[in-house]
Structure 1
């Protein structure tokens, strides 16, 4: 009989490429993970991993069996969720990390409504533009912009088609005039963003397959994305923002698109968590609620 724990450790070791990292994630000693894999190999009568002192990789048999092992775990999790009593589905404390602008101006209302629908649940919300380490920081899930290519944690797409756009207030455009070309941006005041000491003052735009990278100049910089948003609304300059952050302002006329015929960088929004065990009923319902909020906004993205 295959052990559930052994299956879980096999799937995580394959994703992480390391017995020791899988052991640390599960709170086990590395020898326990090694023993679990050996038990599976004995029961299946195959070698799952090719191991050396420097590397760990799946054998062809291991690669063939991995999707079946993953499916078994997912089926079991789905079954457990089906038999849970509704009153026990969402309770306890859910710790969420979210970017400052997105969290305060778009998702806070989602979190409030979610909490009202699940009164037994407590939310602990951390607003920060710093990159959250879901293994070390006290969070259950984090919403994060950008392409996720790290297999060490679970990543679920929220708004895969989200992009950056250039925006400014109608008042600013009236005073300064709208740029006609990407190069014109160099002559306009940009609102630039700082992250971990790095200034993001090179903006990228694309049109008809041609890429333009522009070095912009700014009189105001901030390490808080919400501050950049507020400064744009106040008529201080041009901001290079996620469409999700400014969609409602553009729709209601508080901000206008600059160079709308050009496309900004692709910045998909994802929900990440340390491992599949973290995908509780509450987390899955929150994920659905955030996706439901973001979907119609993405549809408004200017083509």
Structure 2
């Protein structure tokens, strides 16, 4: 029969990424942690972790076992904490992975309100345009755009595909004029994600539903939506931006739509987490916050 303590030790080792850190948190010697893991692997008849001098890596069997048991271990720990505290209250650390510009469209005020409502919860945001490995990077919740691959994670769509469009600053339009056709963009400076020395193709859907393509270029490029937005605000050219990025500037008159009859459809946004079972209350509460705020249509 498997020892639940050994399983809990395994989950802690995965989250800490090392035997030494797991041993410190568990208050036991490192060699004891290593021995207990070897004992668990022997009982399961499978190798759970690949050990090297630099890091620990989950095997395929280890990843599957972790996904199945981590939630249960958290549930047991949470139940004990709740009983000791005399009630059910979200607590503990929640690690959130999101894009580098996440806080440009997710107001920090929402985070402040959440933390005020849950004083025992701590939030750690890992912001990067690279997709995090939820298990290896010890991520509780990820906010991701685009289609959800069949990764074994649980995904919940916050909103579906949205149409973005072309924008420019009033100063740029005053200086260069507004293009009258899609192909006229070839005569304009466009801020793009391609190097300034190269061209990039924009595919947009016209008013008749037909997708058209145009090659554009410019003297400024960037690899984030916010870099392109700021370049457009500075009058460096015409940009193709998601609605969430451009909406407030358009409403404030800092950007104006260009060829509004053409739209570019982008994938929606989803919240992703490793397991549906036995989510810690703090994680469930944060997922509820993101779902409420970002599914309410405020970005439309």
Please report the TM-score for the alignment, with normalisation by the length of structure 2.
0.65
1:296 is paired with a residue whose SS is coil
- Secondary structure of residue in 1 paired with 2:112: helix
Equivalent position of 2:298 in the other structure: 297
Indicate the larger mover: 204-213 or 218-227: 218-227
Equivalent residue, structure 2, for 1:201: 200
Q: Render the CA deviation track for 1:33-82: whole Å, top value 9, x for unaligned.
A: 9xxxxxxxxxxxxxxxxxxxxxxxxxxxxxxxxxxxxxxx9xx9xxx9xx
With over 3 angstroms needed to count, the CA separation of the structure-2 counterparts of 1:277 and 1:254, relative to structure 1, is: farther
Aligned counterparts, 1:140-151, within 5 A: 140-151=140-151
Whole-angstrom distance in 2 between the partners of 1:222 and 1:209 = 29
Give deviations 1:183-236, integer Å, cap 9, x for gaps: 1222222222269xxx99322211222001222102111223322222222222
For residue 192 of structure 1, what is the aligned residue in structure 2? 192
Does 2:25 correspond to 1:26?
no
Q: Which residue of 1 aligns with 2:92?
A: 92
The alignment's C-alpha RMSD in Å is: 3.3
CA distance in 2, matches of 1:86, 1:257: 56
| Match in the other structure for 1:239 | 239
Q: Residue 161 of structure 2 contacts residue 265 of structure 2 at CA under 8 Å; is this kept in 1?
A: no
Structure 2 Cα separation of the partners of residues 287 and 26 of structure 1: 24
Taking the aligned partners of 2:95 and 2:120, their CA distance within structure 1 comes to 14
Cα offset for 1:279? 4.2
- Number of the residue aligned with 1:5: none
Q: What is residue 42 of structure 1 aligned with on the other side? A: none
Aligned to 1:210: 210
SS at match of 2:257: strand
Identify if the C-alpha distance between structure 1 residues 219 and 23 changes in structure 2 by more than 3 Å, giving closer, same or farther: same
Of structures 1 and 2, the larger Rg is shown by: 2
Deviation at 1:286, TM superposition (A): 2.6
- Whole-angstrom CA distance in 2 between matches of 1:274 and 1:120: 22
The count of corresponding residues between Structure 1 and Structure 2 is 229
Residue 218 of structure 2 aligns to a residue in which SS?
Answer: strand
Matches within 5 A, 1:74-113: 88-113=88-113
Q: Which has the higher helix share?
A: 1
Using the TM superposition, give the Cα deviation of residue 143 of structure 1 relative to its aligned residue in structure 2, in angstroms.
1.0
Q: Name the CA distance, whole Å, in 2 between partners of 1:129 and 1:200.
A: 23
Question: Alpha carbons of 1:260 and 1:186: their partners in 2 closer, same or farther (altered >3 Å)?
Answer: same
**Structure-2 separation of matches of 1:149 and 1:165:** 26
Cα distance change on mapping 1:144 and 1:163 into 2, 3 Å: farther
Give the unaligned 5+ runs of structure 1: 1-19, 34-72
Match of 1:183 in 2: 183
Kept in 2: contact 1:193–1:200 (CA 8 A): no
